[in-house]
């Protein structure tokens, strides 16, 4: 098993993010993302040492869930508690948004009650509309297009186990047109990680997101590329990442997708092309025997449970920066 080695990124000046929305990683510059990671490391150390920062005392996070969740709900709720605040769970069945109230009215009303809103929903346009109407910060807990809080946890996990981000090679295998791929592309480009995405033809990432990341990666001396060959993607990789082949809302497509994605399965044979000390990541839940074999997911290279835990620490850093009293 891996033992996480808490480290740090280069020292950066604290950005002023109070009141800002956290919708996608391309909205932030490299220094802001690196600072969030540095703060997450600090908060994780404090939590492990049993100390506590009540920096969000009296603050409330409203959490709207239109998609089911394990890690997102628990990590945000626990994170707010550890920072001295509280979280309020709101399913679409519990609020009028699920019965036809407008996004605008819901955002305006909740802004009068809570200090920040986290949403886990379907269309990314919906969260953009919500954030435009809200008078408090809005955090993207997941949309069909982006999953930025998960990728912040991923970057934190890589930093812990590899001691750096810049210059590493990450390989992502599977469905390129999903929220994890898009946010990994944006995050890698911002922190200077080389990323090769291997996807079947017709399942590539959105072109606009890919082109923007290529430009951002160039500025950070990182190569962001797309291939169809999974072996080429994992050659010399420090980090291998995958996700389910049919995301939430696509379950009925699984039978059709299985033969298309089979050669992109992360298995022992494919991983022989990576570096000997590669780490494997998956945002979970995982389907053993589909996108990854049990031998890899449960094996010595896997850091998936460190990755899951780091949702808590990365999100605490985001919450603190967006809401802390100054």
Residues 94 and 223 in one domain: no
Residues 117 and 50 in one domain: yes
Segment 118-151, tens digit of pLDDT = 999 999 999 999 999 999 999 999 999 999 999 9
Please give the residue that has the higher pLDDT: either 247 or 270: 270
What is the helix (H) or strand (E) element at residue 240, kind and residue range? strand 239-242
In a domain, 15, yes or no: no
Q: Which residues are annotated as a binding site?
A: 69-72, 96, 120, 147-150, 179, 243, 247-248, 283-284, 311
Residues 137 and 172 in one domain: no
Q: What Rg, from alpha-carbon coordinates, does the chain have?
A: 19
In a domain, 300, yes or no: yes
pTM of the shown model: 0.95
The whole domain housing 89 covers 30-147+310-323
Going by C-beta distance under 8 Å and a sequence separation of 6 or more, which residues neighbour residue 233?
A: 171, 172, 173, 196, 197, 198, 227
Q: Distance of CA 68 to CAs 74, 143, 156, 242, Å?
A: 12, 12, 24, 20
Joined together, the tokens standing for residue 315 give: 């999100």
CATH code for position 179: 3.40.50.1370
Residues 229 and 253 in one domain: yes
Segment 58-116, tens digit of pLDDT = 999 999 999 989 999 999 999 999 999 999 999 988 888 867 899 999 999 999 999 99
Contact between 137 and 116 (Cβ < 8 Å): yes
Going by C-beta distance under 8 Å and a sequence separation of 6 or more, which residues neighbour residue 171?
A: 195, 196, 198, 233, 234, 237, 239, 240, 241, 274
Residues 78 and 182 in one domain: no
Segment 163-218, tens digit of pLDDT = 999 999 999 999 999 999 999 999 999 999 999 999 999 999 999 999 999 999 99
CA 158 – CA 166 distance, rounded (Å):
11
Residues in the chain: 326
Q: How confident is the model at residue 1 (pLDDT cuts 50, 70, 90)?
A: very low
- Provide mean pLDDT across the span 271-296: 97
- Residues annotated catalytic, as ranges: 120, 147, 150, 243, 283, 311
Q: Distance of CA 26 to CAs 18, 23, 257, 265, Å?
A: 18, 9, 29, 28
Residues 187 and 132 in one domain: no
Sort 42 into a burial class: Cβ within 10 Å, 0-12 / 13-18 / 19+: middle
How many domains would you assign to the chain? 2
CA 99 – CA 117 distance, rounded (Å):
19
Residues 40 and 182 in one domain: no
Residues 94 and 171 in one domain: no
Q: Could you say which DSSP state residue 288 is in? A: B
In a domain, 217, yes or no: yes
Q: How confident is the model at residue 246 (pLDDT cuts 50, 70, 90)?
A: confident
Instruction: Note if the bond before 115 is cis, omega within 30 degrees.
Output: no
Residues 122 and 248 in one domain: no
Q: Which residues are annotated as a binding site for carbamoyl phosphate?
A: 69-72, 96, 120, 147-150, 283-284, 311
Residues 207 and 188 in one domain: yes
In a domain, 240, yes or no: yes
- Provide mean pLDDT across the span 10-17: 79
Contact between 58 and 174 (Cβ < 8 Å): no
Tell me what pLDDT residue 96 has: 84
CA 21 – CA 131 distance, rounded (Å):
7
């Amino acid at each position: 098993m891996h033992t996480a080695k808490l480290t740090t990124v280069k020292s950066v000046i604290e950005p002023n993010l109070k009141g800002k929305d956290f919708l996608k990683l391309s909205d932030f510059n490299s220094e802001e993302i690196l600072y969030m990671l540095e703060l997450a490391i600090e908060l994780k150390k404090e939590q492990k040492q049993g100390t506590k920062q009540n920096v969000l005392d009296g603050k409330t996070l409203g959490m709207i869930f239109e998609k089911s969740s394990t890690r997102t709900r628990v990590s945000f709720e626990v994170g707010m508690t550890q920072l001295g605040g509280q979280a309020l769970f709101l399913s679409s069945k519990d609020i009028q948004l699920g019965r036809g109230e407008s996004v605008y009215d819901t955002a305006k009303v909740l802004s009068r009650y809570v200090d920040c809103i986290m949403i886990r929903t379907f269309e990314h346009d919906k969260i953009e509309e919500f954030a435009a109407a809200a008078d408090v910060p809005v955090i993207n807990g997941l949309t069909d297009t982006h999953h930025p809080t998960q990728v912040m946890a991923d970057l934190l996990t890589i930093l812990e186990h590899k001691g750096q981000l810049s210059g590493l090679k990450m390989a992502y295998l599977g469905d390129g047109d999903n929220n994890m791929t898009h946010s990994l592309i944006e995050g890698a480009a911002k922190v200077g990680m080389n990323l090769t995405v291997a996807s079947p033809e017709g399942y590539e990432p959105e072109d606009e997101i890919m082109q923007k990341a290529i430009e951002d990666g160039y500025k950070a001396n990182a190569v962001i590329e797309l291939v169809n060959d999974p072996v080429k993607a994992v050659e010399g990789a420090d980090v291998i990442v995958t996700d389910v082949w049919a995301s939430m809302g696509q379950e009925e497509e699984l039978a059709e997708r299985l033969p298309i994605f089979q050669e992109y399965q992360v298995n022992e044979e494919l991983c022989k092309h990576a570096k000997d000390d590669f780490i494997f990541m998956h945002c979970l839940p995982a389907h053993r025997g589909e996108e990854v074999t049990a031998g890899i997911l449960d094996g010595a290279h896997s850091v998936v449970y460190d990755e899951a835990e780091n949702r808590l620490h990365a999100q605490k850093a985001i919450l603190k920066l967006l809401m802390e009293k100054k």
